[in-house]
């Protein structure tokens, strides 16, 4: 069962949200009056989704969301009356998956949460892909730098330097990037 952390300064509205979540088949992990200590609360409660109902998301709320999003990203849905373009941009930058203006209708909770979760999963997949590509590029630069070191120090051509590092990587059971780092570190010590 999907668990939802509800953040709302109004206990009355929070009660209505909880009723809507229950009708949608979700379980409420907790109700918080504000986003202070959000990272600690998310770590403690491990909710699947965070739902915030507010008249306008405060700077503190958005900063707490951004901090939480770095370490423990979760789909976040904000229901609000604030429709300013800058506020919406800031919310999306803080990791908000769905920003719904003009109030909360309990019948709309399920499809909105489902869309937020799907968007969050797509965003996370893109981030993982970007991180992987960045790491490969970084590794490639290290290998190229290490090849240059071997070419200069040993008088090898590029192909021979690559194959020497590849052979060493296979013999050690290490990645080419690790061997390249070792070659560069040794060159710093010896040269």
In this predicted structure, the answer to whether residue 167 has a pLDDT above a threshold of 90 is yes
Final residue of a structural domain among 104, 120, 153? 104
Residue 119 belongs to a domain: no
Q: Is residue 115 part of a domain?
A: no
Asked whether residue 97 is assigned to any structural domain, the reply reads: yes
Question: Same structural domain for residues 136 and 177?
Answer: yes
Domain boundary among 89, 104, 119: 104
Q: How confident is the model at residue 168 (pLDDT cuts 50, 70, 90)?
A: very high
On whether residue 26 sits in a domain, the answer given is yes
* Domain around 90: 3-104
Q: Tens digits of per-residue pLDDT, 38-83?
A: 999 999 999 999 999 998 899 999 999 999 999 899 999 999 988 8
Residues 161 and 71 in one domain: no
Look at residue 116 and tell me if it is in a domain.
no
Q: For residue 42, what pLDDT is reported?
A: 95
What average pLDDT does the chain have? Answer: 92
| Residue 123, domain member (yes or no) | no
Do 67 and 155 belong together in one domain?
no
Say which CATH number the domain at 79 has. 3.40.50.2300
Helix/strand/coil (H/E/C) assignment for every residue in the chain: CCEEEEEECCHHHHHHHHHHHHHCCCEEEEEECCCCCHHHHHHHHCCCEEEEECCCCCHHHHHHHHHHHHHCCCCEEEEECCCCHHHHHHHHHCCCCEEEECCCCHHHHHHHHHHHHHHHHHHHHHHHHHHHHHHHHHHHHHHHHHHHHHHHHHCCCHHHHHHHHHHHHHHHCCCHHHHHHHHHHHHHHHC
pTM over 0.85: no
Residue 73 falls inside a structural domain: yes
DSSP β-bridge partners for residue 5: 30, 50
Domain match, 16 and 58 both: yes
* Percentage above 90 pLDDT, the chain: 76
pLDDT at 103 over 80: no
Instruction: Measure the CA–CA gap between 90 and 43, rounded to whole angstroms.
Output: 23
* Whether residue 85 is found in the same domain as residue 174: no
pLDDT of residue 32: 93
> 140 — phi, psi (to 5°)?
-65, -40
Of 8-12, 57-61, 113-117, the one with minimum mean pLDDT is 8-12
Cα–Cα distance measured from residue 73 to residue 71, given in angstroms and rounded to the nearest whole number: 6
98 with 135, same domain: the answer is: no
What pLDDT, on a 0 to 100 scale, did the predictor assign at position 164? 94
Residue 190's pLDDT is 82
- Report the number of distinct structural domains present in the chain: 2
Q: Within a domain: residue 118?
A: no
pLDDT of residue 191: 67
Cα dist. 80→49, 77, 155 in Å? 17, 10, 66
Cα–Cα distance measured from residue 108 to residue 163, given in angstroms and rounded to the nearest whole number: 60
Q: Are 4 and 47 in contact (CB under 8 A)?
A: yes
């Amino acid at each position: 069962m999907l668990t939802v952390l509800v953040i709302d300064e109004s206990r009355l509205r929070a009660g209505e949200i909880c009723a809507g979540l229950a009708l949608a088949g979700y379980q409420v992990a907790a109700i918080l009056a504000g986003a202070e200590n959000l990272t600690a609360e998310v770590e403690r409660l491990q909710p699947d989704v965070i739902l915030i109902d507010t008249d306008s998301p405060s700077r503190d709320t958005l900063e707490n969301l951004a901090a939480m999003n770095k370490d423990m990203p979760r789909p976040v849905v904000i229901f609000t009356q604030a429709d300013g373009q800058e506020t919406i941009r800031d919310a999306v930058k803080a990791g908000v998956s769905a920003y719904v203006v003009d109030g909360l209708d309990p019948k709309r909770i399920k499809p909105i949460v489902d869309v937020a979760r799907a968007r969050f999963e797509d965003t996370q997949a893109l981030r993982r892909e970007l991180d992987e590509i960045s790491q490969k590029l970084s590794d490639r630069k290290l290998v190229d730098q290490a090849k240059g070191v071997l070419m200069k120090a040993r008088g090898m051509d590029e192909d021979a330097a690559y194959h020497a590092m590849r052979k060493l990587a296979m013999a050690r059971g290490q990645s080419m990037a690790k061997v390249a780092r070792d070659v560069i570190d040794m060159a710093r010590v010896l040269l």
